[in-house]
Structure 1
Amino acid sequence: MRAKLNLLSLSALALGALAGVVTGCQSYDFEPVEPLAIAQTTVEETITALSSKPNIMLLVDISGSMTLPVRPDEPTCMVRDSQGATVLCGYENGCPTTTCPTRWTELQGAVPQFLTNSGPYVRFALTTYPEASTGSGVAACTKPTVSSVRKGLPVVEDDASLLEHANSINTLIQAIPNKGTGQPVGGTPTSGSLTFVGSLDGLKDPDRKNFVILLTDGLPNCNEANEFSGAENPLQCKCTIANNGCGTAGVPFERRGCLDTNESVKAVQALKDSGVTTIVIGFGAETASGDGPAVLQAMAAAGGFARSCADDPNACGRNDTCIAATGLCSRTFYQAGNQEELADALERISKEVVNPEPCLIPLKGPQLPSNPKLIVVYVEDERLQPGDGTWSLTDNGVLFNGATCDRIKNSRPEDPIKIEIRAIRQR
């Protein structure tokens, strides 16, 4: 087999020497020259066009805190409770959502466009958690079961059927009321919920990319086997229950109420080890301050999904930075405080995971070559020159055309196409 040469090995720098006899004192002015910085990108893809539509499980938090207002300082968010006292709305004291939108109503407003835009290209499913009918006691911590899978993965995957399936998921989300029977209640058993969706056969498809989008507004808790006890290890426990409800030995939330960071990260890592990428979205005040950012950062880092800012340096949002050298955001999870920010996060996720063009291998920012001549493309270990019937370099990456594109589209799981792209960028 013919060996493939690394692009970096194709360039050499030759230095010449000038020698002579000098009979007098000479002076020379030297101008410093900045050394050439070179970065190489190698992208390898094994493509099976008919299996290119990914599986995405939406794992949506419907804990009681989702009924809290997104702008608690709004005067209309103060309501009368059953005793006549003026309190902040939420939980059993429903918010007047027309003037005081809640986290749940903002989520309901952000989801439709995402599902409509991505629907034809994604195999969506929906699981909600917790599986609770009460906001108090141990029952508030019930982990999901098959009853929590409100919509499974689709059977057919033509564009029209997938869009219809995605729209049916939106209908289910819109049907969950902010107040009344079926409203969000309970705690946040995140580790158990991630473990549950990881057990579903649909996310074990080796011929597809499999994702879990975790959308949560609260700190993970509800783990009865938490390694820490609020009574024995109060500092490590980081109790999530009001009035230190974890601090007494023997109470139901001695361990359930402790922050469940380690097991949640382990659950995400287990998904990653089984081929499932977890994308984390934090929605609400608890995910932007206190212990929230550190927990979500650890979970998202374990999930293996890189937030790209290569094509938009402002993509990382507030209180975050874009690392120019990598084209990635410093924060590994998406953080949203309202409907607009959540819709933006979902749109950016859609652009990263959806590929309506199977003949395009995306390259972004630092991955693109600094000169069109500094890129080589191999298909099944054969180097292809750019042109009609092979490929061209676009602003979005390498776009295959003609017979090569047809070859990609006709690939099957049992007969995939191996593609390798090598690009150099001078900085």
Structure 2
Amino acid sequence: MTKPSTQRSRWSARSRWPAAWMALLGGCGARTGLNLPDVATFPDVSDAADVTDAADVRDVLLPPMCIPGRFTLTQRGADMMLVIDRSGSMGQRLGGGRSGSSKWVLLRDALSATLPAFQERIRVGALFYPQEGADTRLATCALANVPSVDINPGNGTAARVIGVFDSTDPGGSTPTAAALLRAYNYLVRNPNRARARYLVLATDGGPNCNAALDAASCVCVGGGGPFGAGSCRRDTNGQRCLDRERTVSEIAQLAANPIASIPTFVIGLADETDPNYAATLTAMAVAGGRPFVSSSGYATYYNVERAEDLTRAFTTIQNTVSRCSFVTPSRPEEMGSIVITAGGATVALDATHRDGWDWTDRAFGEITFFGAACERVIASRTTEVQATVECVNDGG
């Protein structure tokens, strides 16, 4: 699929979590909207899944720990929350054409083609935003109050997810930041450290619905296209302004939170020639920690220009989270002291996520294969992923 060339970012492990985010996270909690459990009740990585801590149990993640030997790794289960844009523009055709199916229908068809094959491997949930019937001025930015998400993560939920597309129509604005935070808080309130957790955002428009923005000077997302010529100056608040900074910041905090990190995949369905749109989606994808990485090493979002791009994006993402993530009991400090093999062949450590493996939840011992390495693991149908660990010069 063709990828946007506007403001792409070169991807490396060292640049994933800027120090600024960690400083910002020091003040998290009610002010950011992060609904984290109290520290005394959050499960530690050393606890059994879903077991609440006792008062005297350690309440910090274990440091990297080295155990020498050879280990057969196990696949890690996954909970995946789909965060699906149901704004009015999703009723339009992809690329602004006059023929063919709407983006809403194409999204339904792509999920129909991919979810059933993965629903026993991945517990899938969904949140659609804004709320159903949000085509009035008062409700255009609202999220549904009950339930907290439309479909709780579970196995065998594909038909229920697809059914929402058939029973509701697009309408309203694009409160992306609020929707992602709602989905994140649901996953955090229902923790299971034995399973990895992911957000998958599918959107066709620039995020908005931030009334605090200055309507007289902002980039306007209302009228005449995704970032059309229509002006926000006649508005009394900034709800139709492009809400880039807040949305990117929110996604980065969700992915980098030291207590409950949840990454976000970003799928974009729109005209990539608009520089505001492409740059915003790219920033969101990089902040989420799971961007699409091109063969030349550039990180961007999963761009959709045609129906098959959408199906390919969902297949790639679901393969990554369900077939290419494994857990090792040994977490050595020295990168060179662990060797990963799949099907008997050594796989290189690759922080660029183009062709190799990388730590994706080191505190829990999770590694993930990316790019061609992930494809080779899937094609070989192997479960023989092994780690050989030496603990010389390791701090653990």
TM-score (norm 1): 0.57
Aligned counterpart for 1:293 among listed residues 267, 270, 278: 278
Aligned length: 277
Larger radius of gyration: 1
Match of 2:309 in 1: 341
Per the alignment, residue 199 of structure 1 pairs with: 185
Relative distance call for 1:71 and 1:118 in structure 2 (3 A) is same
What whole-Å deviation, never above 9, does each CA across 1:252-287 have from its counterpart, x for those lacking one? 4x31111100110111012111310100000122x5
Unpaired segments ≥5 residues, structure 2? 1-63, 224-228, 329-339, 350-374, 392-396
Determine whether 1:165 maps to 2:157: yes
Is contact 1:203–1:210 with CA below 8 Å preserved after alignment?
no
1:136 shift after superposition: 4.0
The reply to whether residue 240 of structure 1 matches residue 221 of structure 2 is yes
1:39 is aligned to none
CA distance in 1, matches of 2:91, 2:390: 48
Cα–Cα, structure 1 residues 230 and 53, in superposed 2: closer, same or farther, change >3 Å? Answer: same
In 1, are the aligned partners of 2:75 and 2:324 still within 8 Å (CA)?
no
Deviation digits for residues 279-312 of structure 1, max 9, x if unmatched? 0000122x5523111111111111111435xxxx
- Give the 5 Å matches for 1:406-421: 420=389
Deviations along 1:215-252, one digit per CA (max 9) or x if unpaired, are 001000011233xx022xx1xx101112644213xx34
SS of equivalent to 1:168: helix
Matches of 1:244 and 1:280, distance apart in 2 = 26
Quote the Cα distance in structure 1 between the aligned partners of 2:169 and 2:136: 14
The amino acid across from 2:348 in the alignment is L
Distance 1:307 1:335 in 2: 9
Matches of 1:341 and 1:170 in 2, distance apart?
A: 19
Call closer, same or farther: CA 1:225–1:366 in 2, change over 3 Å: farther
Of 62, 75, 90, the residue aligned with 1:66 is 90
Deviating more after overlay: 46-55 vs 122-131: 46-55
Separation in structure 1 between the aligned mates of residue 324 and residue 279 of structure 2, nearest angstrom: 34
Question: What are the superposed Cα offsets for residues 332-372 of structure 1, whole Å, 9 maximum, x if unpaired?
Answer: 21010232110011111122111289689677999539xxx
For 2:169, the equivalent position in structure 1 comes to: 183
Tell whether the 8 Å contact from 2:95 to 2:305 is kept in structure 1 after alignment: no
- 1:266 matches 2:252: no
Q: TM-score, normalised by structure 2?
A: 0.61
Displacement, 1:102? 0.8
Aligned-residue sequence identity (percent) comes to 24
In structure 2, the CA distance between the partners of 1:357 and 1:67, relative to structure 1 (3 Å rule), is closer
For residue 292 of structure 2, give the secondary structure of its aligned residue in structure 1: coil
The residue type paired with residue 207 of structure 2 is P
Would the alpha carbon gap of residues 208 and 362 (structure 1) be closer, same or farther in structure 2, given more than 3 Å must change?
farther
- Structure 2 residue aligned with 1:32: none
Deviant stretches of 4+, over 6 Å = 43-51, 359-366, 397-400
Q: Are the counterparts in 2 of residues 55 and 203 from structure 1 also a CA contact under 8 Å?
A: no
**Which runs of 5 or more residues in structure 1 are unaligned?**
1-42, 78-99, 155-161, 177-181, 309-315, 317-321, 370-393, 409-417, 423-427
Q: Contact 2:95/2:270 (CA < 8 Å) preserved in 1? A: no
Whole-Å separation in 1 of the counterparts to 2:270 and 2:184: 25
1:283 is matched by which residue type in structure 2?
Answer: L
2:242 counterpart SS class: coil
Q: Determine helix, strand or coil for the equivalent of 1:209.
A: strand
Counterparts of 1:362 and 1:135, CA distance in 2: 53
Q: What is the rounded CA distance, in whole Å, between the counterparts of 2:109 and 2:299 in structure 1?
A: 25
Q: Give the Cα separation in 2 of the matches to 1:103 and 1:44.
A: 47
Matched, 1:368 2:348: yes
| Counterpart for residue 225 of structure 1 | 212
CA RMSD across the alignment: 3.8
3-state SS of paired residue (1:265): helix
1:214 aligned onto 2:201 = yes
Q: Show the counterpart of 2:118.
A: 118
| Residue in structure 2 matched with residue 257 of structure 1 by the alignment | 240
Letter in 2 for 1:55: D
Give 1:50 shift.
8.1
